[in-house]
Amino acid sequence: MASVFWNAECILFIDYLEKGKTITGEYYSNLLTRVDEKIHEKKPGLQKKKIIFHQDSAPTHKGVLAMAL
């Protein structure tokens, strides 16, 4: 499975989940941290701006670790 993160200008980050693996709260939390790092690397002008992130209500998206970010 691929998770793709983009804005109006470009693809910011693509993550490929290993075959046979599932997305857990811990995996998703780490993924969000990596996405944040990649956004600030590719778009340094966004460092001082609030980033709005839209996601569905999958269990891993509502987990304690993910919500803490």
Work out the angle at residue 18's Cα, subtended by the Cα atoms of residues 14 and 19, and round it to the nearest 5 degrees.
125
pLDDT at 24: 84
Are 66 and 30 a contacting pair, CB within 8 Å?
A: no
Cα torsion at 62, 63, 64, 68 (round to 10°)?
A: -60
pTM for the full predicted model: 0.67
Give domain limits for the chain: 2-68
The predicted-structure confidence for 16-61, as pLDDT tens digits, reads as follows: 999 999 888 888 889 989 998 988 888 888 777 766 666 666 665 5
